[in-house]
Structure 1
């Protein structure tokens, strides 16, 4: 460094200040004009006062964290609401209500947390400790919560409201539930003394149960699907009587919205006459009341369970849903292709298109042929004169 330059002078002053601060006042700094600055002659700042350290217990509390941004503060309930609005188009109101109950269970347990506060620990503690240990739910039910909550977080991540999904990969091994189809003898027993009232003195669950069971025997429909039917949902198109299931979008899936022709046994038993006694806009089974989870089929399912057990039908894995499995099983035995079975039962199947199963005559005629393949040996029902 060249002596006498401005940079030399600045560095020297800094050096001098450092020495003075350290207690050396004999230092000197030559200046370009020949003068000399002595450390003891300078009006330099005094050495800094060194305070003793403050004990941790006496330190002031840290400043609060800055407010969270909107992205960070979307709560679990807000995320669920957005999930319903953006991802569940076509899902029935009943299914959405079931999802809402699951969300409420989570919020009641851990609070309506911001998504970034729902950690792996929170997720596992809720799923395993609360659902399995405290509430004694089955692993399959627990997995239902995990799948729903994972879907909510996936939706939030897509909308840039979350960056991590604590419910991903949270499924545990669960025993699969397999429903058994009814045997011919069990079906004959169920309907041997069943009364199919055309004009009940009072519409109630008991008067609806034989009709509901018979409809499911020859359509494979779900319990809630038949419970929601209206009198106007039995229609005739190009000479074919048929049901319109879930046409208001209230089915379990989009594929649940479908037309299913009436089997001749239903007509022979007097279902059309039963329908004709009701005003067009009335429920087909007006005596049904909402039960658990606001479902019309809840009380029906309970009464069916009592009915079959009273008749001695107590095999494991046999319940109302067995009608659905019975129809699928019988049609497979008859050699019906899977796409036709899926169309009848309302299963999701990419092979089925509206071009084949649209709301037109040819589609219904094809399904009518499928439905008429259903036969049950030993089933005897009353046949009304036409």
Structure 2
């Protein structure tokens, strides 16, 4: 029996007799005839690589969910960034991408002469994608884009040429009755600049309105803006008294009688939304009347609206809730800041604010 055991251990009786106590213990424990007493080499542990989905598949899942809060233009832009990233690094399991790819992507964009704000926007879109993957148990490391950017927001802001508001003379020229009517011949060309002036809303927010989003609530006509830039931008904006007194509501009524569903039914949605042609036409009108400053565009109505109310001393929270920089439901009218309004309903307050606006233009519409 002893000979059989020694045979299994691979040693002879003579060798065993020369072993020290620790060597015998090592032989029994490991089954290895290591006469030097050095521990037998252990196999390398197997590293299990966690896998989930291809980056393209994760992007599809994320974009489908992002449609809840993002307008089509933003969804389109994000998808373009993800496609570009995949083109650079190929479509692999999302867990194979690391901070190295993130930095390489940023540096490649820099080398191609891409602007700082565009690069940071792309980094932000990728950061959102990987955050989604992390939160949905699809990516198992730290977000590789968490700290990847080119510059701080403050520096970018200093480098960016911002839009300008329209002056009183600009508005008089824009809304000169005969010329405006003759040039802005379609309903969207005609009404959207007027709506922009009196609401401060973004062009796409107004161009994409459905008829059911123009209605009367507690005696106040409102635009119920749902297709907005973000959650804070979903809001109701009261119609200015001049819009109510104009032919705009007659236009709305005529569309309802025709069983239309959209406020501007002839507009066709593209990858950039509904507003492309209106923006182009308005730009041509500005050129025609001699307003050639490239910082004065349709979006300047929004700046005009905000600046005029600010100069009138309207509380910032009220302005922000109207233009979509602040969630309306978070405006507390019982706060000491709103002592004059605490007995009024929110829409009545916002209506009073908007109706204070007056512009030096003829109310021909």
TM-score where L is the length of structure 2:
0.75
Is structure 2 residue 132 aligned with structure 1 residue 155? Answer: yes
1:99 pairs with one of 78, 89, 92: 78
Output aligned runs, 1:301-312, within 5 Å: 301-312=279-290
> Greater share of helix residues, 1 or 2?
2
Is structure 2 residue 93 aligned with structure 1 residue 122? Answer: no
Counterpart Cα distance in 2 of 1:205 and 1:222:
21
Partner of 1:138 in structure 2? 115
Is structure 2 residue 238 aligned with structure 1 residue 261? Answer: yes
Counterpart Cα distance in 2 of 1:238 and 1:196:
33
Higher-Rg member (1/2): 1
Partner of 1:185 in structure 2? 169
Q: Is residue 99–residue 145 contact of structure 2 (8 Å, CA) maintained in 1?
A: yes
Output aligned runs, 1:272-351, within 5 Å: 272-279=249-256, 281-291=260-270, 293-349=271-327
Deviation at 1:68, TM superposition (A): 7.3
Deviation at 1:93, TM superposition (A): 4.1
Mind listing any 5+ residue stretches in structure 1 that lack a counterpart? 1-5, 18-65, 198-203
Deviation at 1:226, TM superposition (A): 0.6
Change (3 A) 1:159 1:275: closer
Q: Is residue 197–residue 302 contact of structure 2 (8 Å, CA) maintained in 1?
A: yes
**2:302 is paired with a residue of what secondary structure?**
helix
TM-score where L is the length of structure 1:
0.71
RMSD: 3.3
1:364 pairs with one of 329, 347, 356: 347
Is structure 2 residue 363 aligned with structure 1 residue 381? Answer: yes
Partner of 1:239 in structure 2? 219
Q: Which moved more, 1:345-354 or 1:300-309?
A: 345-354
Partner of 1:83 in structure 2? 62
Counterpart Cα distance in 2 of 1:67 and 1:287:
60
**2:221 is paired with a residue of what secondary structure?**
strand
Q: Deviations over 1:32-67 (max 9, x none)?
A: xxxxxxxxxxxxxxxxxxxxxxxxxxxxxxxxxx99
Aligned length: 312
Q: Name segments (4+ residues, structure 1) moved above 6 Å.
A: none
Counterpart Cα distance in 1 of 2:214 and 2:65:
33
Counterpart Cα distance in 1 of 2:350 and 2:277:
31
Counterpart Cα distance in 1 of 2:224 and 2:332:
15
Counterpart Cα distance in 2 of 1:349 and 1:260:
12
Counterpart Cα distance in 1 of 2:163 and 2:136:
39
Change (3 A) 1:92 1:290: closer
Mind listing any 5+ residue stretches in structure 2 that lack a counterpart? 1-5, 20-45, 335-343
Q: Is residue 240–residue 351 contact of structure 2 (8 Å, CA) maintained in 1?
A: yes
